[in-house]
Structure 1
Amino acid sequence: MDGAALVSVNTLVEHQFVSQWLMANDPAINTWYTSGVIDEETLKMRWEGDGMDIEPGLQYWLNNDHKDKSGDHIVYTYGVYEYLWSREYSLISLPYICEISQTEAYKIVKEDRDFDFGSNYSDPLFAPKGPKFVLHQQSVIVVRTDSTLNAAIEYIATGLPQPNYKIIQTDDEGNVTDMSTLVDSRYTITNGKLSIQSPNEALDSGTYHCTAQNEFGLVVSNPMQLSFGFLSEFSNVEPSPVDAYNDDRAAIDCTPPNYRPGKVSVNFQWYKGNYHFIRPDLHAYMFISRNGKLYFSVVSTNDAGAYRCIVKLSSNNGAAIGTNQPPSRISLPIQLRIINAAASVWGPEIANDFPAVFPTTPKRGQNVHLECLAYGSYV
């Protein structure tokens, strides 16, 4: 066909090329026709492709059983470490190996074919196809702020015909539930979207996944976690002031309200007075650690004043906070009092809490933050 013919293997190099190519490109471990034919009466062998006889020293049988079996064609068959020869009858349907000379290669035109080749659909948009997810719901942390809060889990899959969805919950005890209005009137499913009215931690927390199915197949989404978080209020007990000597180190502690570590995390910010937010990027001697403390490498009388800690709820595992306004809390003012002392040159000294790692016991997939802080006078 177009100058090509079934392959003839006349040298060891040609055999090794065919065998290695099949090892790399035939995951189905097929048996492949060559142009080699065998006269079953005389056992004479020759290549029909180029008319050459097959010499005994250039034969690559899998073993003697395959050499002596019935069959009028030489085929390549899988032999664990390489493809070697066997025999088959030409009436059996098998894939085949062709070759063509370089001077004739221009006759071969490689056609680009996609999934609609041979179909009656000229527009791929209208070709029937199995479902495929194009939107996976990421994990969500529900923050309950009032009794009317809703939570939503949404997946989107393409397919023709349009796939049918199921959303399935596996709770913390391992119980599996096919979510529907029949299970609980708080649940509403619209295509791949599950809406939960007034989420309840005892009933709704757990792992969820979605299936999308039509007549051409079924796909399963990535799992997501629905969990619940909260942020309590700061204590209303007035914090003790922090005293520091002029030109010495200082640290103001922020003990956050309860927030269920492990499920959620918190971010810290500080401001001084009524509105001066602390900007460590503008004041290199200040540092806000992920442990909540505000550190001063060295203080002066200008740093004296009232400081407030702001705590904002956040995610610690890539989950989305289920509200556009995550709750935050502001502490009572903490006074930093500076005691006059003679200036001196000292340091640098690594602070006792450092180097520090956050989170202290990280899990796979979490971001890890390393911190280091040194005290010392201005240079």
Structure 2
Amino acid sequence: MYYLRRLRSFNICGKLLRLFYQSVVASVLLHAVVCWGGSISKTDLSQLEKQIRRASSVVGTRLDSLAAVAERRTLQKLEDILDNTRHPLYIVISSQESRWSLNGTLIDLGSDYRRHMSGGSLIIRNLDKDQDSGMYQCTAFNTLGSILSRRASIHFAYLDSFKTQSVRSAVNVREGQGVVLLCGAPPHSGELIFAWIFNEYPYSVQQDSRRFISQETGSLYIAKVEPSDVGNYTCVVNNTVTKQKVLSSPTPLVLRSDGVMGEYEPKIEVHFPDSVPAAKESVVKLECFALGNPVPEISWRRPSGVPFPSKVKMKNSNAVLEIPNFQQEDAGMYECIAENRRGKNAARGRISYHGKTEVKKIFFKAVLLFL
């Protein structure tokens, strides 16, 4: 690692830094990983992964984790054994058999023409929502014993239509007041993206410091209502998996005639939970938005005083904090602050780190194919 840092200090290009890492650093850290990668302790694994992350920051690109390298090399070793009939382990590995279960019940391949096995893989044709939804597991066994695979699940994405198609009840507010227009997404499965139409297509609501569309709730938040906001609002829901799109009934926004709302301190209406679990290398997004007059300004900080790394991004006028490639050092307490000249309020929550499932042994490669 010392020499890797020294090379970077001489402004060596990234390609040469990666070459040095692979030929020197990785050859030491990952030597014979096929032999010990499945039985390494959690403490040792954490230390080695930490070194790889440090190397990643020096090289300036994401490097494969120990688990990824161990799995790739182990599978390659198994494939090499299967290609060599003279290898001492060829008979043991080639005699392996596999069984598949669905929700804990063994799948009877003889009674279902849609399902069959090929090289240990379960192939399903003409997927059926009622018959094929659930949790799958493969059991591989040979003369030395058996092993159970990790679980694989099938969930069918869908998006129903909104039930009510008539115009929704009008929302009456005073000028200067904050308001929340509820979307109320219909029954669905799969990731959703929300947008709002103002009056009629293609005029969509543009997000800024005064207006925010939560991708968690789908609701539209207007921090401080102005006369130009009067009109009809329609929630648009898109399913990213099925590519379906449904529209709600319009919600009229009407100004009350009993005066203008005076100034008041921020009221946080959108905030992340007190506890947010985050998987290693995932993208974490925290939302925070407040109603208020004047329009509140949103800022973020870590109460521990640790500054945000350069990878952290603030979006939608700071209403969204995004942490790409989440790592253990990103875990901890985060705070959102909404402030205007009338005062300020804050919301806090803790992001907890969850590493990928540790794989102790890899004896086979079981693949679930969906056709």
Category of TM-score, reference length = shorter chain: 0.3 to 0.5
Higher RCO (CA < 8 A, seq sep 6+) = 2
| Alignment TM-score, normalising by the size of structure 1 | 0.45
| Alignment TM-score, normalising by the size of structure 2 | 0.46
Over alpha carbons, which structure has the higher Rg? 1
